[in-house]
């Protein structure tokens, strides 16, 4: 089958015909406002055979300079394309919604560049990088020039990081303003609309362009929805059923973004936003300080968003760096100035969040995080016994350890607690007879699937639900189930690649969208039939998958229907885990490519970069594209590097060396095959430009090393903590054999997203590493799988 992404000369006439047809389609009438009456009632069933289709070819991306200097005719063509789009809500992805999604991604990238390149924003001036060396001495000054560009890139990244920290705070304010009620544990027993049927039924949110939020808030919302189970949990806990049901309002978003990808709110939208939130429409117009309630004395005091800024004309010796101690910085640390002089840090704020959630449960019966969905399948539960298991985290905090948690907040302390202290408190609670009985609300009874943990009986659901509850607080003190700054930074890797590939400027964007949608259909069929394997998308498949997730109810129905009729035939809400160890991502991509070839007799990745060649994808007959920024290969926005304990590193180091050696050997074989055919492979090394500075990555599965260590509000977006004995590790008694993808110890994606690891000592206590395993997807005792760009359908 001809390649989707190459442009052989034999196809030039077909391309011209397709482009002409595209222009004809663009003349149709503009989209009327959606009526919401034609929403899809039932998800489509998979067919046994995938649909047949012809290859539609995209074009090479133009460079950044070309994009900023588009010809007037290009803008006219884009305007015609976007004005002809038609939208419905609660629907599986189609060509129009994919094009609208691409348009939004371009607007996000345009915003990011505007923020990052705004000299002086947050008092971060380019001049701090020093002057570029004299061009006449280029040979001798190359190293100095690279250093200046590297510092400039870090300054620009810092501007964007602070901007996103403020955006999440603004999103949280908007979220609370939209919330009509909070979910109570009692509602889970009595109110179907608030719990049992929340995800599958409901009316649309009354979207108009006059109620759209600012673009920075839309960016965070977009990333939030791309973590489907977390978004469902959050909307359920905060009563946002219509918000969940409707998803991204494509008709209104498309209307707000012009053909140059500028997002413009109406005057009514600006007024509605400011009235509802008390914040400016423009992120940068909000104050440079934040009012924060002191956890100890409960008084408000002002903290700076960043301490990294310096006046442009500053001549002193102070060098604040770019990590910072402000609320939007990487190492938040401020003394309460309201009187108690408590040292408030980001670690303390995570503990405070847990204490406040516990108090809300005791006072109002509000559910705590990770106490509403079955952690294995990601759906509401239907039986009373299962409900008792799912709500176990409520009782762990509210009945088991609340008194000890309260003692952690001490006025005037200069050594604030962290989640490490909480972990030890929960371990002690599980080992204490009286506390354990309060958590269970009854004596221990034999339960199917239960495991003895430190002499206690805990079911899998209780253990894993409590672990996931803990993950909501490690490196996260927002009201949401995950750190949305980190999620948005990782999502930015995908946005940047979509912008560079530039399908919207190709001769047949509708044809490209149609082709990738059919490829996505095949991908989902493989995923639902192989729930114990991690399926990894290519970039084109990932665009369709992301678009699907932005219609949450449709995606939920699609997931649960097709997992119930394929594979192990168990209805599951397929997650989109946004943290996967880079080696696990690479080996799983290899598996996915082979599964696709075996099932459809077709090449999965049409890319011919060195990495894809190394996993035997060298089948194209056209000249390869060597630019890694425009290659259509594995989607790696969720690739992270594992921060492992010494023990875990020992167990994994050999496996890493073996896999890398095998990859290198495969590349050499592909190189020799190419030479026999008179072809030249692209170089093994790949270079990416980030804020105009070049970065080397070994391959497309590598985590984005250009993310600057230490500058982000909740830790490094490209790092995943792993292991029971390290930061964000499991509390003793909660870990063991695991079949829940994307959970694990410490943080979304946790250690279940690692590959082939024995996570600890073999024992019968139910501690981390209850089994020794070297199979695919096993880490901290677990089988991740199924939900690929990160796990989620696993069994």
What lies within 8 Å, CB to CB, of 260 at 6+ separation is 70, 75, 110
Per-residue confidence band for 144, with pLDDT thresholds at 50, 70 and 90? confident
Per-residue confidence band for 642, with pLDDT thresholds at 50, 70 and 90? low
Asked if residue 516 is part of any domain, the answer here is: no
- Please compute, for residue 527, the number of CA atoms within 13 A of its CA located in the half-sphere on the CB side: 34
- Indicate the burial class of 106 (C-beta count within 10 angstroms; 0-12, 13-18, 19 or more): buried
Residue 662 has pLDDT above 70, yes or no: no
Two tokens at 375? 């952690």
Per-residue confidence band for 492, with pLDDT thresholds at 50, 70 and 90? very high
Residue 36 has pLDDT above 50, yes or no: no
Asked if residue 128 is part of any domain, the answer here is: yes
DSSP type of residue 367: P
pLDDT value at residue 586: 78
Per-residue confidence band for 64, with pLDDT thresholds at 50, 70 and 90? very low
Mean per-residue pLDDT for 444-467?
68
Secondary structure (3-state) at 639: strand
Two tokens at 394? 């409520």
Q: Which residue has the higher pLDDT, 389 or 49?
A: 389
Q: What is the pTM of this model?
A: 0.80
The CA distance from 219 to 488, in Å, is 8
Q: Which residue has the higher pLDDT, 723 or 429?
A: 429
The CA distance from 793 to 533, in Å, is 9
Q: What are the CA-CA distances from residue 114 to residues 157, 159, 211, 265 (Å)? A: 12, 10, 24, 17
Among 135-139, 245-249, 262-266, 633-637, which is the least confidently predicted range?
Answer: 135-139
Question: What is the tens place of the pLDDT at every residue in 768-784?
Answer: 433 222 233 333 333 33
The CA distance from 529 to 565, in Å, is 9
Asked if residue 472 is part of any domain, the answer here is: no
Residue 65 has pLDDT above 70, yes or no: no
Asked if residue 110 is part of any domain, the answer here is: yes
Two tokens at 150? 């590297």
The CA distance from 459 to 465, in Å, is 10
CA 191 and chain centroid, separation: 31
Question: What is the tens place of the pLDDT at every residue in 529-543?
Answer: 988 888 999 999 999
Asked if residue 704 is part of any domain, the answer here is: no
End-to-end CA distance of the chain: 34
Residue 63 has pLDDT above 80, yes or no: no
Residue 10 has pLDDT above 90, yes or no: no
The CA distance from 389 to 409, in Å, is 29
Per the structure, the complete domain to which residue 53 belongs is given by 9-138+145-274+486-503
Mean pLDDT of the chain: 76
Question: What is the tens place of the pLDDT at every residue in 688-709?
Answer: 566 666 655 555 555 565 577 7
Two tokens at 9? 């000369």
- Indicate the burial class of 571 (C-beta count within 10 angstroms; 0-12, 13-18, 19 or more): middle
Per-residue confidence band for 19, with pLDDT thresholds at 50, 70 and 90? low
Among 285-289, 465-469, 728-732, which is the least confidently predicted range?
Answer: 728-732
Minimal CA–CA distance to 57: which of 24, 8, 97?
A: 8
The CA distance from 402 to 416, in Å, is 18
Question: What is the tens place of the pLDDT at every residue in 190-223?
Answer: 888 999 999 998 889 999 999 999 999 999 999 9
Strand partners, 362: none
pLDDT value at residue 607: 58
CA 195 and chain centroid, separation: 25
Two tokens at 256? 């707000």
Residue pair 566/46 in contact (Cβ under 8 Å)? The answer is yes
Residue pair 84/30 in contact (Cβ under 8 Å)? The answer is yes
Two tokens at 345? 């840090």
Can you tell me which residue has the tokens 């009563």? Answer: 239
Asked if residue 24 is part of any domain, the answer here is: yes
DSSP type of residue 259: T
The CA distance from 97 to 371, in Å, is 33
pLDDT value at residue 776: 30
CA dihedral 381, 386, 392, 398 (to 10 degrees): 70
pLDDT value at residue 710: 85
Can you tell me which residue has the tokens 């190293």? Answer: 143
Mean per-residue pLDDT for 249-259?
94
Residue pair 173/221 in contact (Cβ under 8 Å)? The answer is no
pLDDT value at residue 671: 59
Asked if residue 155 is part of any domain, the answer here is: yes
* Count: domains in the chain: 1
Angle between helices 215-225 and 138-178 (to 10 degrees): 80
Question: What is the tens place of the pLDDT at every residue in 160-191?
Answer: 999 999 999 999 999 999 999 999 999 999 88
Question: What is the tens place of the pLDDT at every residue in 398-452?
Answer: 999 999 999 999 999 999 999 999 999 999 999 898 999 999 875 444 444 455 4
pLDDT value at residue 283: 98
Mean per-residue pLDDT for 331-344?
94
pLDDT value at residue 568: 84
Q: Which residue has the higher pLDDT, 57 or 135?
A: 135
Per-residue confidence band for 329, with pLDDT thresholds at 50, 70 and 90? very high
Question: What is the tens place of the pLDDT at every residue in 340-364?
Answer: 999 999 999 999 999 999 999 999 9
Asked if residue 495 is part of any domain, the answer here is: yes
pLDDT value at residue 359: 97
What lies within 8 Å, CB to CB, of 752 at 6+ separation is 738, 740, 741, 742, 743, 744, 777, 779, 780, 782, 783, 784, 791
Minimal CA–CA distance to 785: which of 530, 560, 532?
A: 532
> Phi then psi for 613, rounded to 5 degrees?
-60, -40
Per-residue confidence band for 316, with pLDDT thresholds at 50, 70 and 90? confident
Strand partners, 301: 292
What lies within 8 Å, CB to CB, of 442 at 6+ separation is none
Residue 751 has pLDDT above 70, yes or no: no
Residue 56 has pLDDT above 60, yes or no: no
pLDDT value at residue 697: 53
């Amino acid at each position: 089958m001809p390649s989707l992404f190459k442009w052989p000369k034999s196809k030039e006439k077909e391309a011209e015909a397709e482009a002409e047809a595209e222009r004809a389609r663009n003349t149709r009438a503009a989209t009327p406002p959606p009526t919401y009456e034609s929403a899809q009632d039932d998800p489509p069933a998979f067919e046994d055979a995938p649909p047949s289709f012809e290859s539609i070819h995209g074009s090479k991306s133009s460079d950044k300079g070309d994009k900023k200097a588009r010809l007037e005719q290009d803008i006219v063509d884009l305007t015609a394309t976007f004005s002809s789009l038609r939208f419905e809500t609660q629907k599986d992805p189609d060509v129009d919604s994919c094009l609208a999604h691409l348009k939004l991604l371009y607007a996000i990238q345009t915003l990011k560049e505007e923020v990052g390149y705004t000299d002086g924003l947050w008092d971060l001036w380019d001049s701090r990088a020093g002057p570029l060396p004299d061009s006449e001495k280029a040979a001798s000054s190359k190293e100095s020039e690279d250093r200046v560009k590297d510092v400039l890139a870090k300054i620009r990244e810092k501007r964007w990081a602070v901007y996103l920290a403020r955006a999440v705070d603004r999103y949280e304010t908007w979220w609370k303003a939209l919330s009509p009620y909070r979910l109570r544990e009692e509602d889970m027993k009595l109110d179907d609309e608030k719990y049992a049927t929340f995800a599958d039924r409901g009316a649309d949110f009354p979207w108009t362009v006059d109620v759209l939020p600012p673009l920075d808030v839309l960016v965070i919302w977009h990333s939030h929805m791309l973590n489907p189970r977390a978004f469902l949990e959050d909307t359920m806990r905060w009563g946002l059923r219509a918000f969940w049901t409707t998803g991204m309002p494509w008709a209104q978003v498309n209307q707000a973004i012009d053909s140059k990808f500028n997002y413009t709110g109406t005057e009514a939208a600006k007024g509605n936003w400011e009235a509802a939130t008390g914040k400016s429409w423009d992120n940068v117009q909000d104050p440079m300080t934040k009012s924060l309630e002191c956890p100890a004395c409960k008084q408000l005091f002002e903290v700076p968003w960043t301490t990294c800024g310096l006046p442009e004309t500053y001549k002193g010796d102070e060098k604040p760096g770019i990590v910072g101690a402000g609320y939007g910085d990487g190492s938040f640390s401020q003394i309460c100035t309201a009187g108690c002089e408590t040292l408030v840090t980001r670690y303390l704020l995570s503990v405070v969040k847990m204490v406040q959630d516990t108090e809300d449960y005791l006072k109002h019966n509000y559910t705590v995080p990770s106490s509403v969905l079955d952690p294995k399948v990601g759906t509401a539960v239907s039986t009373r016994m299962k409900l008792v298991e799912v709500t176990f985290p409520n009782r762990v905090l509210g009945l088991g350890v609340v008194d000890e948690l309260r003692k952690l907040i001490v006025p005037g302390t200069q050594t604030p607690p962290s989640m490490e202290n909480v972990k030890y408190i929960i371990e002690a609670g599980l080992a204490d007879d009286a506390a354990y009985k309060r958590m269970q609300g009854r004596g221990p009874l034999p339960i199917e699937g239960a495991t003895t943990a430190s002499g206690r009986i805990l079911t899998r659901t209780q253990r894993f639900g409590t672990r996931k509850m803990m993950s909501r607080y490690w490196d996260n003190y927002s009201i949401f189930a995950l750190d949305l700054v980190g999620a948005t930074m990782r999502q930015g890797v995908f946005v940047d690649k979509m912008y560079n590939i530039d399908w919207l400027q190709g001769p047949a964007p509708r044809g490209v969208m149609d082709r990738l949608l059919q490829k996505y259909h095949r991908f989902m069929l493989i995923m639902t039939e192989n729930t114990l394997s991690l399926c990894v998308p290519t970039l084109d498949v990932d665009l369709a998958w992301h678009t699907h997730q932005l219609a949450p109810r449709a995606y939920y129905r699609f997931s649960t229907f097709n997992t119930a009729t394929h594979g192990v035939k168990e209805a599951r809400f397929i997650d989109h885990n946004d943290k996967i160890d880079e080696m696990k991502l690479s080996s799983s991509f290899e598996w996915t490519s082979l599964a696709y070839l075996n099932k459809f007799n077709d090449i999965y990745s049409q890319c011919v970069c060195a990495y894809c060649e190394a996993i035997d994808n060298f089948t194209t007959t056209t000249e390869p594209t060597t630019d890694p920024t425009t290659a259509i290969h594995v989607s790696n926005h969720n690739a992270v590097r594992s921060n492992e304990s010494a023990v875990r590193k020992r167990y994994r180091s050999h496996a890493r060396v073996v896999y890398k050696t095998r990859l290198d050997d495969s590349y050499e074989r592909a190189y020799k095959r190419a030479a026999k055919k008179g072809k030249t492979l692209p170089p093994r090394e790949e270079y990416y430009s980030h804020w105009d500075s070049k970065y080397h990555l070994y391959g497309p599965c590598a985590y984005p090393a250009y993310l600057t260590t230490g500058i982000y509000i909740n830790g490094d977006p490209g790092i995943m903590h792993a292991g029971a004995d390290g930061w964000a590790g499991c509390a003793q008694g909660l870990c063991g054999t695991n079949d829940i993808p994307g959970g694990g110890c410490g943080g979304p994606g946790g250690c279940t997203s690692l590959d082939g690891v024995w996570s600890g000592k073999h024992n019968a206590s139910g501690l981390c590493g209850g089994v020794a395993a070297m199979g695919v997807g096993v880490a901290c005792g677990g089988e991740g799988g199924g939900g690929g760009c990160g796990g989620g359908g696993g069994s």
